[in-house]
Structure 1
Amino acid sequence: MKVANTDPWPRNPEEAIALQDRLRTRVSTANPRPPHFRTIAGLDSAYSEDGTVVAAIVVLDAETLETVDIATARGTTDFPYVPGLLAFRELPTTLTALENLTITPDLLIADSQGLAHPRRFGFACHIGLLTGLPTIGVAKNAWGDYEMPGPERGSSTEITIDGDPVGRALRTRTDVKPVFVSIGHLIDLETACAQVLSLTPEYRQPETTRRADRLCRQLLNELRA
């Protein structure tokens, strides 16, 4: 698939913050089309100590959860580690991996934040704007304030930042720590949470995330070997 990136790439944190502030107004929290997703892709990245970045994309059939496409990429980064700017360490390599896909997924799920971000523009928002695809951020930890949801699968509570709703803490397994769902682009929160639940029949994390994470670890192990 092709990805259009027309913005100059930030050279430092100040430029990255300015870009996030400029792009965040373009994020859409509505479904522009019926929310029927035939293929769903999981995106993940990992790093080695020398600055090598690996990215993995795993595309699943939404009904069967069978893997239908895989793409990987390897790159490097010298962008500093700054909370809230991690997208700028991962995006270049992730974009290369996306362009290696043989199909265009209907939905992207990133192991990251979307609107639940200090500038309301996490990795999931950025990749959603760059691809023009519906995108969800599903993180392991919350960025914002929330109450713990009930213990049953499907229970959820609102995540807020400065009083503004930015996502949900969603229980995907009964009596297991919730995941933290926020909109990336072109999807509403109800649809996003429904999709996350459909992708978690056995485990806390969506199958998209689990398989992309496993592939990233495999790539890093191969590099170390």
Structure 2
Amino acid sequence: MITVRDLHPWPSTEAEAEAVQRRLRPLVRVEEPAEIRTAAGLDVAYREDSDELVAAVTVLDVATLSVVDSAVVRDRARFPYVPGLFAFREAPPLLTALQRLAVTPDVLVCDGQGVAHPRRFGLACHLGLLTDLPSIGVGKTPMTRFDPPGEHRGDWTPLEVDGEEVGRALRTRTGVKPVFVSVGHRCTLQAACDLVLRLTPKYRLPETTRTADHLGRQST
């Protein structure tokens, strides 16, 4: 069973949330992960014109991309919609869903950012630290500047903050717009990109994200 560490109280204001991100950011570790056999996809779906949400987690066998476990949590958003602070809105129900899994995944693949974030502490960092599991962020849109990568699958260019590489714009399908990969916790950027390519044999987005998104939409 996944244990959630009590590293901070959940804030109620933007200023408090940003302070939590700055305090926790130095705790993020970049290291080569152990063998990755299972990967969890995490996604949150929202009901229209409501603060109701559904947090969905699927665990995939990386070799076959088949779903081996899943969990769904229905809840209400308890933090406003603020760019750069999505973790305070989405992490609590996602953590509850993770705790309901029977299979502990080797890595969390988050639909959002890791260190490719204005304060270097996106959703993937937050979830990785609180669970102490390896985690990566795979965003659909960037929060940092980048130059377009080449058109072929596997081509990439760096995402930069203040001249430092914090992630990569990675082309997962030839001729299709890239995804934006960064470290969350206990992983390296190269290992994160290698994993994303393994998880995208047919589509732009990883199968982890696609299955979690499908489960969440089914459950709304």
Structure 1 residue 216 displacement after superposition:
1.1
The 1-side partners of 2:128 and 2:78 are apart by 24
The 8 Å contact of residues 4 and 95 in structure 2, kept in 1 or not, is answered as no
Matches within 5 A, 1:122-137: 122-137=122-137
Structure 1 residue 2 displacement after superposition:
2.9
Aligned to 1:223: none
The 8 Å contact of residues 27 and 184 in structure 1, kept in 2 or not, is answered as yes
The 2-side partners of 1:205 and 1:2 are apart by 25
Q: Secondary structure at the match of 1:218?
A: helix
The code of the aligned residue for 2:121 comes to: F
The 2-side partners of 1:50 and 1:149 are apart by 38
**1:200 equivalenced with 2:200 (yes/no):** yes
RMSD in angstroms over aligned alpha carbons? 1.0
The 8 Å contact of residues 45 and 216 in structure 1, kept in 2 or not, is answered as yes
Q: Residues 53 and 5 of structure 1: is their aligned pair in 2 closer, same or farther, counting only changes over 3 Å? A: farther
Q: How many residues align?
A: 218
The code of the aligned residue for 2:219 comes to: L
Q: Secondary structure at the match of 2:78?
A: coil
Bigger CA drift: 75-84 or 200-209?
A: 75-84
**1:25 equivalenced with 2:26 (yes/no):** yes
Aligned to 2:188: 188
The code of the aligned residue for 1:200 comes to: T
The 2-side partners of 1:131 and 1:138 are apart by 18
Structure 1 residue 141 displacement after superposition:
0.6
**1:83 equivalenced with 2:83 (yes/no):** yes
Bigger CA drift: 188-197 or 43-52?
A: 43-52
**1:42 equivalenced with 2:60 (yes/no):** no
Give the alignment's TM-score, normalised by structure 2: 0.96
**1:103 equivalenced with 2:103 (yes/no):** yes
The 8 Å contact of residues 54 and 216 in structure 1, kept in 2 or not, is answered as yes
The 2-side partners of 1:4 and 1:182 are apart by 22
Matches within 5 A, 1:127-166: 127-166=127-166
Structure 1 residue 50 displacement after superposition:
2.0
Segments ≥4 residues shifted beyond 6 Å:
none
The 8 Å contact of residues 3 and 95 in structure 1, kept in 2 or not, is answered as no
The 8 Å contact of residues 117 and 143 in structure 1, kept in 2 or not, is answered as yes
Post-superposition CA distance 1:150-208 (Å, at most 9, x none) = 01100000000121111000000001101000110000000000000000000000000
Structure 1 residue 25 displacement after superposition:
0.3
Give the alignment's TM-score, normalised by structure 1: 0.94
Structure 1 residue 4 displacement after superposition:
2.1
Aligned to 1:14: 15
Q: Secondary structure at the match of 1:144?
A: coil
Aligned to 1:5: 5
Paired-residue identity, %: 56
The code of the aligned residue for 1:16 comes to: A
